[in-house]
Amino acid sequence: MTILPLDPAANSTPAALRQFLAQCQEAAARKGKPQLVSISLEIDALDPLAVLESIFEPAERHFYVERPAEGLAVAGAEAVLAFEASGPGRFAACQRFIDETLENTLAVGDLKAPFAGPHFFAAFTFADRGEPGDAFEAAGVFVPRWQVAQRDGRTVAVANLVVAADSPIDALVERVWRAHGKFGAFRYAAPEFSGRPARIEENPVAGDYPAAVRRALAGIAAGDFEKIVLARIRDLGADETLHPLRALNGLRQRFGDCYAFSVANGRGQSFIGASPERLLRVGEGQLLTEALAGSAARGTTASGDAALAAALLRDEKELREHQLVLGFIARVLESLGLRPEHAARPGLRRFANVQHLHTAVHAALPAGVRLLDVLARLHPTPAVGGAPRESAMPRIRELEGFPRGLYAGALGWIDSGGRGEFFVGLRSALIDGSRARLYAGAGIVAGSSPEGELAETEMKFRAMEDALRA
């Protein structure tokens, strides 16, 4: 990526913009390839979700995520570049697309500001190949036309455009100048949210969940695998088209320590949720991931809640499930030359409706190992798949009876410096017209009971169902 010494704030006139874009056009002609031009500008505070609500278009891609507890919020929409891949090599293919794009990128603005410069928003499904009718490709990456982000009390807007040797410069100037004016003094528009889900629709592929758990336990007893995660689906129907963003404000307020998110495919379908689980964060030569496995309900009183937490911390079955995930993460990182560090015993992560065993894992990132290299090995972890992965993964589709799509997939972003963050697509729903498909899963190990796992999935369904119906 080439960083040009131009201050967008000090050169904010149509004439200066035209001169700059003309230089970009000359660069495109000289290199024989279109150039991605990225313009970053720090602006007055904006709410990324409110911006997305105001200019939402169902026929455009978007990516939104917010984690209030960490002061993080970002929204980007309207792809100027997009890439799709499938199969075991999908992560490497996406990395090549990112590398090739950055080789032909011109950036201006303070790239040290949070979320400045071009960002690549990505979504990887649970399985490495899709099925007919899937809403999302197995791997999808896009660069948004516009992006607004808040981090640590600062707001940065980014405009991205592609300039080719024959691009109509005057039209590009007009488009960027309009965007500059809009984000410089943004006027929020109240979205027209349509109806709420009113009924549960029976789904013939949902199957008998307790029976699936019993089959999984038989496989564990036979030594086929130690753990397998089985999910359920629940379809909700409405009398009107559902707006995918309507539930997100409530989710981010209720689950401030989760990733409230929405990923749209540009064909009218969106995947939304409030995920508790970070998959991977990379920045400044450091890697952070976590084991989040082993669950219990929250109590209705302080003493009841504390008793449930204490029981979870000493529950042999839940601790064993947690250790399977932690051991897998450590082995993956060690295979890449990293030295993972973590506490000897798990702690607790508490959310509004559930609490989990949690262990944070840190490691220095060696030179030459990049975010997608690690993600390709980590995803999916036994927290959402199974262990051993090679024997558990092929059984999941058979036992569940439906394709997961982005449920338990990897969602996140990578910036121009290779920094980025991914989380797991949990506590989620696929919004498609007047229907919402909810997903919830539970880890099955020796000692699991079909009734107990059914109750756990019901507990996990409740948060998203309440948000959609609020």
Cite the active site residues.
227, 277, 321, 456, 460
Q: How far apart are CA 295 and CA 309, in angstroms?
A: 9
Q: Token match 């009398």: residue?
A: 239
Beta carbons within 10 angstroms of residue 191's beta carbon: 15
DSSP per position, 388-424: SHHHHHHHHHHHH-S--TTTT-EEEEEETTS-EEEEE
Secondary structure of residue 432 in the 3-state scheme: strand
| Strand pairing class (105-108; 2-3) | parallel
Rounded Cα distance between 77 and 439, Å, is 25
Return the sign of the alpha-carbon dihedral for residues 110, 112, 113, 117: positive
Token pair of 406, please? 């982005």
**CA–CA distance, 207 with 401 (Å, rounded to integer):** 7
Q: What residues have CB less than 8 Å from 226, skipping those under 6 apart?
A: 220, 324, 386, 387, 388, 445, 446
What does the alpha-carbon distance between residue 125 and residue 439 come to, in Å, rounded to a whole number?
14
Measured from the Cβ of residue 162, the count of other Cβ atoms closer than 10 Å reads 18
d(CA 318, CA 443): 9
Element (H or E) spanning 181, and its range?
helix 169-184
How would you classify residue 87: left for phi > 0, otherwise alpha for psi between -120 and 50, otherwise beta? left
Tokens describing residue 40: 């970053």
How many whole angstroms separate alpha carbon 95 and alpha carbon 306? 45
- Specify the DSSP class assigned to residue 221: H
Nearest alpha-carbon partner for 213 in 457, 463, 459:
457
| Rounded Cα distance, 253 and 356, in Å | 20
Which three-class secondary structure state does DSSP give residue 223? coil
Closest to 338 measured CA to CA, from 388, 379, 282 = 282
Rounded CA separation 89/84 (Å)? 12
